[in-house]
Structure 1
Amino acid sequence: MKTKTDISDLIVSTDTLATLLGFTRQRINQLAKEGILEKQAAGRYPLMKNVQRYIEYLRTGVKDKGDGDEEAQAKYWEEKALHEKAKRETAELKLGQLKNQLHDAADVELVMTNMLATFRSRILSIPEKVSPKVLGVKNLSEISDAINTEVLEALAELSEYDPGMFAGVGVDETEDGQPIPEDLEIGGSTAEIDDQ
């Protein structure tokens, strides 16, 4: 018996192709209906062409509808480009966080809430601090100066922005994916709100 070495024109049955690809007969028929595999006749498939078509389908996720189907290939590459763009944007955002130029919205909310709560507490304590100083003072200029000094101190505290205040807020991860413990120190003082 002579063995055939050229398989380029070999036609196989549904069962043979199913066994070769590791599918059931039904799956082979379904792949043929979807245009992934090519049928030559009922239950007859060109072996080499269909193995190539199926490998191309696995590689690109695009059904091979012949050499003229450039639209499907264009769509595949468009999707791939969008995916790569999303990956690049994610990497840029991560880099911005590492450089302390970009902060998580939850971290910003926590820091700003703490800053504003401290500021509010500071403003509300002004009458208590100023009252004893101005008690009995008749000069309006001295009363105004005492109030003005306390207000300016409170505003100066609010204006002290430091990007480092956002570093370490919440649970971050190091390069090796290990969590960093939450650090609630903000600007050298704890994030707790004092009721003075």
Structure 2
Amino acid sequence: MTDDVAALHVTDAQLAALAGVTPRRIRQLAEAGTLTRVARNRFLLGDAFAALVEEMAGGDKASELTAERVRKLRADASLAELELAKAKGEVSTIEDFEAVWNQACGIIRANMLQVPRRVVSSLIGETDEARFKQVLTDEITLALETAAEADFTPEDDETDE
């Protein structure tokens, strides 16, 4: 019996009367592709009624709106977590990171450029390749370890003003 009713062909006026809308609204929904015609101004009752229920419930717009609300809630939660991390001092600004990174690069560069000056006197006249490599390796290691132990702190903004 249910299959018989769902398979009935109804006109736009009959479908409008069942759904409580105007026949013009039924035709608009058919033109928009929400309802599928089986003949001129005729619809399959089961398919058309299911499509009308979905349309009246908000259709894709309702699920899109729900998805947007969830996205906004997640963004708000992420923002609140970021603000909390800032308040706890667990995050730094990009400017602070860049300043510290520039300091680190500057110290490494300065230390590495001092290696030749520090080793030149001990390597003059040196013919033993192993000793030459060992002295250079020791000095380079010292330069890098010194840079690694340096205290990097972002510069105060007051000096920039």
TM-score range, shorter chain: 0.3 to 0.5
Q: TM-score, normalised by structure 2?
A: 0.47
Higher share in helix = 2
